[in-house]
Structure 1
Amino acid sequence: MAHSIPALVNSQMLAWAREEAGYTLEQAAEKAHFVIEKLSSWEKGESMPTLRQAEKLAKIYHRPFSVFSLSQPPMMTPLAAEYRRLPGITPGKESPELRFALRQMIYRRKGALDLLEELGDHPEPFSLNIKMGEAPEQVAERIRSALGISLATQKAWPHEFRAWHSWRMAVENLGALVFQFSKVNVTEVRGVSLLEFPLPTIGINTKEIPASKPFSLLHELVHVMLARADEEKPALLETRTQPAWMELERFAEAVAGAVLMPADAILSEYEVAGKSTTADWGISEIQTLSRRYKVTPKAMITRLLILHRCSPAAYRRWTDAWEEYLKEHPPRPGGGIATPAEKALNRNGRSFTQLVLEALTHDRITAVDAAHYLDLNFPHIETLRRNLAMARQFETETVGVD
């Protein structure tokens, strides 16, 4: 029977695949429900797994089964040579979930470049760049102008879902790809970017609430712009000290906040203009302002602190009160149940999705290729094609967009 057929695998490749996936021996054994001694024995070549056991490992490691038959590991660029430095993440020690998300982003970016070549087209050049010495407020004005989103448009959006989709499409129009990744703990990473040109690529964690995603998106955009000016290197090559790196992170946060909440606009709001700089802010006051700009209350109070419209003491009192408020009023999941086509668009973004469908229409790729690129079964690809042709706006956000 199949469950007892031995798999003719290279023990060295079993260990390589596990390590590349980011699993320790203990983690892999636990996830696969194997005895650790048995998995160790397979990797040492002392015994062999059955066909089903090897197939299970291939699925967990997100590798084709055939990789276990290679004579030696393939030459691969380290992941940390492509993604930006992340706070608290040691290159090469990323979680299995983050490593898979990064691999998917890299695969889709390369796929986009290949498809453009097949179609005889070229990627949109990404020209925006910034230097660390620039003033965040001035940088924010340039970014907002490049994105083409007016303050009136931002305030007119009916909800945070529309805000997220609009900011995302505006960033994609600059010549970048924006993907969403799932299954990664939001405490590990909210956003990440591949500092490669052309087609720099940004990934946003689906576990972020919609109101937080634009901030994470713009934060990553700043990192991409710094890299374009040769001010920042991928994680493996970044040599800044920790204090210097945190200064860069604070710069990116300040710029992202200034894009979403322009200083002149915030200071002219009647709730702000009539408030003493030392006065306390109420939860409802900040919620009102944050809803107006489609940002989180925490982002709004932080912006007021930066603009000196909230004292450090008042900021600490507000954040303490906010933590208590969240305990009593935990955030509720928004949106409904997305269709497979909607999930694919949320995951892949409009630019990449349209590129894949264009290549399919012009017979540059097969239906199987398209399904693989979009991680979507073919019958749903036709639904996706029809929806895009009708310019339908996908605004369904769910927990399950993976």
Structure 2
Amino acid sequence: MSYSGEQKYEQRAFLPDEARAVSPPSGTVSPALLQWAVERFGNRAELERRFPKLSRWLDGAELPTVRQLEAFARATLTPFGYFFLPEPPREEIAIPDFRVRSGKPLRLTAKMQALIGMLQIRQEWLSEYRQRSGRPRLEFIGKFDATVAPQKAARDMRAVLRLPDDWPRASSTRADALATLANQAEAAGVVVVFNSVLGNNTHQRLREEDFSGFALVDQYAPFIFINTGRERAKAAQIFTLAHELAHLWLGQSGISRVTLGQEAGQEIERACNRIAAAFLMPEALFRAAWQELHQEPLQEMTYRLSEQWKVSRAAIVVRALELNLLDRVQGDTLLEELRSSYEEREEKAAHAGGDFYRMQMRRLGRPFVEAVIEALEEEELSYREAEELLDVRAKALTRLLDRFTPS
């Protein structure tokens, strides 16, 4: 694929042909289209703060001017032509969506659609670049299906990622464990992206309640995205990363809202949760650690084990239930207490900021940045194309090039 800036993700947003051909008519804009854009965006309160007349627009009591409509389109990530269609369009979901809340599927928001589209463009470019460069297929992609024994998949994951069985306990902090897991995944060929906003747009924050992460399967350039929303603890990010890695081993792209102690909506999610638990807390070692502390009060024991394994207390309880180490009534009671408290959020993710270079490496994924810079140096990409792929301006690209050191 020869990359062109025309493929930038905002322009890839599932725009039907009839919307591309529309120019703003002299007639009115349907309130139904405005209402659809609000629902698609997923956060009416945020839009009402930015557009005080929104309620009047939706009621049909007043209509936005062209300039207001353009601003509304940008804010809601809606292609401008959509507002002049006869009815709201039906949009295709880019990848399988496994998220549920209270047993019901969740709506894919405009931010998430734009985010997935952005990473798919990067993935397509990187996959073709790696193939042209003679990189081999990644044999672990789709190696198993959802019926695999969790411990078998977990062992294979640790072998490919070159991690010992007790690697979480060898890390001094959860942040160190998360960095270790991400680094080993990237060394194996996976691009791991951490972000709490859409690209570099700090005005488009990603809500933690919408999704935990997603996986984009590809034999040459698999991508994983981890939502680092303001309240997402490192323990949650570690489990989510392990869960999304399991998606790659099962060969299944998808959007996840990882929940512990609650039934996941589909078998693939249950399988990925079980594999992630076996990967992070191998059975033999976990049983031994549980036995060492079994005389401690349950609250204290789960806290100490969560510190050892760098996961949440909920993950410890669920793993103990899976291995029949804990009475079901006791376990369910403790899980309910944990869900109703803020205890599982005690280690909040740091607000994105600080060192520009490190932040961009997290937001883009180091292997992707390396490939773009290599292609730039080989004159396979122009500077403008590199800016588009990395979603940075010329000055920021120069800063990246000045700081970049190949791994």
Fold shared per TM-score above 0.5: yes
Does the C-alpha gap of structure 1 residues 303 and 328 become closer, same or farther in structure 2, counting only changes over 3 Å? closer
| Aligned equivalents of 2:293, 2:233: Cα separation in 1 | 31
Q: Any residues of structure 2 matched to 1:2-401 within 5 Å, and which?
A: 9=24, 22-23=40-41, 30=48, 32-35=51-54, 49-50=65-66, 52-62=67-77, 68=81, 79-88=92-101, 93-116=107-130, 120-122=133-135, 124-128=137-141, 129-151=143-165, 153-182=167-196, 183-207=205-229, 208-226=232-250, 228=251, 246-269=266-289, 272-273=291-292, 275=294, 280-283=297-300, 285-320=301-336, 322=338, 326=342, 330-334=346-350, 337-389=353-405
Give the residue type in structure 1 aligned to 2:193: F
Does the C-alpha gap of structure 1 residues 273 and 159 become closer, same or farther in structure 2, counting only changes over 3 Å? closer
CA deviation after TM superposition for structure 1 residue 255, in Å: 0.8
Deviations along 1:360-397, whole A, 9 cap, x unmatched?
Answer: 22232233332332233433334434444175xxxxxx
| Aligned equivalents of 2:254, 2:280: Cα separation in 1 | 26
Task: Classify the secondary structure of the residue corresponding to 1:22.
Answer: helix
Give the conservation status (yes or no) of the 8 Å contact 1:341–1:380.
no
CA deviation after TM superposition for structure 1 residue 313, in Å: 2.6
CA deviation after TM superposition for structure 1 residue 290, in Å: 1.8
Give the conservation status (yes or no) of the 8 Å contact 1:82–1:196.
no
Partner of 2:5: none
Does the C-alpha gap of structure 1 residues 244 and 56 become closer, same or farther in structure 2, counting only changes over 3 Å? closer
Deviates more, 1:20-29 or 1:352-361: 20-29
Give the residue type in structure 2 aligned to 1:80: I
CA deviation after TM superposition for structure 1 residue 133, in Å: 2.5
Does the C-alpha gap of structure 1 residues 325 and 187 become closer, same or farther in structure 2, counting only changes over 3 Å? closer
Identity of aligned residues (%): 19
Give the residue type in structure 2 aligned to 1:59: R
Deviations along 1:127-180, whole A, 9 cap, x unmatched?
Answer: 342123322122211221111111354333232222212212322344433223
CA deviation after TM superposition for structure 1 residue 233, in Å: 7.6
Question: How many residues are matched?
Answer: 361
Give the conservation status (yes or no) of the 8 Å contact 1:80–1:92.
no
Stretches of structure 2 lacking an aligned partner (at least 5 in a row): 1-21, 197-204, 256-262
| Aligned equivalents of 1:69, 1:320: Cα separation in 2 | 44
Deviations along 1:295-332, whole A, 9 cap, x unmatched?
Answer: 22221222122222222233234335545763698544
Deviates more, 1:246-255 or 1:28-37: 28-37
Give the residue type in structure 2 aligned to 1:275: H
CA deviation after TM superposition for structure 1 residue 216, in Å: 0.8
CA deviation after TM superposition for structure 1 residue 356, in Å: 1.6
Give the conservation status (yes or no) of the 8 Å contact 2:277–2:319.
yes
